[in-house]
Structure 1
Amino acid sequence: MTVRWEELADGVYARRYPDWDLTVGLVVGDGACLVVDTRADAAQGAELANAVREVTPHPWTVVLTHDHFDHAFGVSAFLPCAVWAHENCRRELAARGKPELALPDRLLTDRAVLDIGGRRVELVHFGPAHSDNDVAVHVPDASLVFAGDLVEFAPPGSFSAESFGTDTTLTGWPGALGGLLALGAELIVPGHGAPVDREFLLAQQDILGRLITLDGELRAGKIDAAAAIAGSPVAEDVTRAALRLG
């Protein structure tokens, strides 16, 4: 994979890395820019910071889509600057007890609006889903949203086993995707993989709905693990992770 910036709309860029197929973002306004996620450690953050300088010399603000290490551990390379995240993201990062981790200092509960050099950028939390602190970054004038790990493009379809962690709220995820769809953006940039369209999100909702049904039947004793795996719309390893089958 060749690592490069792809301009998705005027002044809005995505950059994909071979590590975990991570996708980060950049929004450039008049005299300011916004960096969406910071990679997995200080060295990777520094690489990204240098890459941003290939595009723009403007002062940056950072936003974290959630607390997972591959998205949030590179913040120190961008300081000093404002770092936005959901309030639970700061809590989770602080709980790790690693002094080298820089914590966000601008916190939202449900929604915040930023002015990035004259461009309106909306930060929105739709409730617990992939994590309890997912933040979508909506750029209305580009009809685009950076969705973090609320959306994952994992060829040949959607979701990997890593999509579902101990902090995932399976039942909340379809509603979060509904919130993304309600923003009206035509292009959705996932936390991993290539940009997708609204139809992809609808397909993701369907998969999650089927997994939720299987999970309910499993917990009620109507089916066993083997039947849940056999009836799942996704691969066995993904099903095991989503339904916490071990």
Structure 2
Amino acid sequence: MAEGRWLEIADGVLVRRYTELDLSVGLVLADHGCLVIDTRGDAAQGAELAAAVREVTSLPWTVAITHAHFDHSFGTAALLPCEVWAHERCRAALEAEGAAQRERWAQHYRTEGEPGVAAAIAATDIVLPDRLVTTTAELDLGGRRVLLTHPGPGHTGHDLLVHIPDAAVVFAGDLVEHAPGGSFTAESFGPDTDLGHWPAALDRILQLRPRVVVPGHGEPVELAFVVAARDDLADLAALRAAVRAGELTTARALTRSPFPADVTTAALG
């Protein structure tokens, strides 16, 4: 797969897929504007995305951020000036933790022997969203509605769904991941993850009855994939509750988990 490629999954709804982190970002076209969904991980990557959008359309753009993790939100500066939509706690997270994220991931790429990526992240200006969602918001791009919905906590406490009703498509951010051979990785579970409520957040996606769901990482999926992910997360949440209550050992939970040992260990922690 090339560094970036567009995949049209519905009329005027495109996904751009990247080898870097197996990332998926989105583009929604309408009569008078377009919506860019997530902006990649640094200013240079954001500039690549902006140029790729301009190869598709000259329409003015708006940005929606699915959550505050660097790989989804740090490229925003390259698309300014424009409206930047996100959940209200996404702004708070970027304001409180963005600089620490920037340093942590810059150091990660230095350690991995990728000084160019490290330098790009370290030089990135973190943009705070200026259009904030509490529960829901509706965008009118001209002839096409886009609904922004906070489904409750899950991968983070500020996840945002981007729903295009006329196309029956939902961009889910990292509430859904399509990892090779499974649905999630150990990196899916971080300090801001709410495992107990994550299955309910996926129920909100299912209630929308989309034809296609776009994960934050991996290829687009159908509803059956989301159903299976919800059920697996519910099983994992029950195992964690049993371990914390002293009803089950960690070793026993690892044998009963629907996920590989590294994923289970990260979630139980």
Cα deviation code 1:36-85 (max 9, x no counterpart): 00000100000000000010000000000000000000110000000000
Secondary structure of the structure 1 residue equivalent to 2:191: coil
Q: Quote the residue 1:49 is aligned against.
A: 50
Q: Quote the residue 1:210 is aligned against.
A: 235
Secondary structure of the structure 2 residue equivalent to 1:239: helix
Q: 1:96 to 1:204 in 2, by over 3 A?
A: same
Aligned residue among 150, 156, 173 for 1:131: 156
Cα deviation code 1:206-244 (max 9, x no counterpart): 101110111111011111111111111110110011111
Secondary structure of the structure 2 residue equivalent to 1:85: strand
Q: Quote the residue 1:25 is aligned against.
A: 26
Q: Partners of 1:201 and 1:182 in 2: how far apart? A: 11
Segments of structure 1 that go 5 or more residues without pairing to the other structure are none
Instruction: Check if 1:151 corresponds to 2:179.
Output: no
Q: Which amino acid aligns with 1:131?
A: T
Q: Where in structure 2 are the equivalents of 1:71-110 lying within 5 Å?
A: 71-96=72-97, 98=99, 100-110=125-135
Q: Quote the residue 1:238 is aligned against.
A: 263
Q: Which amino acid aligns with 1:173?
A: W
Q: Quote the residue 2:165 is aligned against.
A: 140
Q: Quote the residue 2:144 is aligned against.
A: 119
Q: Which runs of 4+ in 1 moved over 3 A?
A: none
Q: Which amino acid aligns with 1:205?
A: R
Q: Partners of 1:7 and 1:239 in 2: how far apart? A: 34
Instruction: Check if 1:70 corresponds to 2:71.
Output: yes
Q: 1:76 to 1:184 in 2, by over 3 A?
A: same
* Percent identity (aligned): 59
Q: Partners of 2:30 and 2:86 in 1: how far apart? A: 20
Q: Partners of 2:198 and 2:152 in 1: how far apart? A: 8
User: What's the Cα RMSD here?
Assistant: 1.0
Q: Is the 8 A contact 1:28 1:117 kept in 2?
A: no
Instruction: Check if 1:160 corresponds to 2:185.
Output: yes
Q: Partners of 1:168 and 1:96 in 2: how far apart? A: 15
Greater Cα shift, 204-213 or 36-45: 204-213
Secondary structure of the structure 2 residue equivalent to 1:7: strand
Q: Partners of 1:158 and 1:100 in 2: how far apart? A: 32
Q: Quote the residue 2:105 is aligned against.
A: none
Q: Which amino acid aligns with 1:75?
A: T
Report the TM-score, using the length of structure 1 for normalisation. Answer: 0.97
More helix by share: 2
Q: Could you tell me how far 1:97 is from its partner in structure 2?
A: 5.7
Q: Which amino acid aligns with 1:102?
A: V
Paired positions, count:
244
Report the TM-score, using the length of structure 2 for normalisation. Answer: 0.89
Segments of structure 2 that go 5 or more residues without pairing to the other structure are 100-123
Q: Is the 8 A contact 1:33 1:117 kept in 2?
A: no
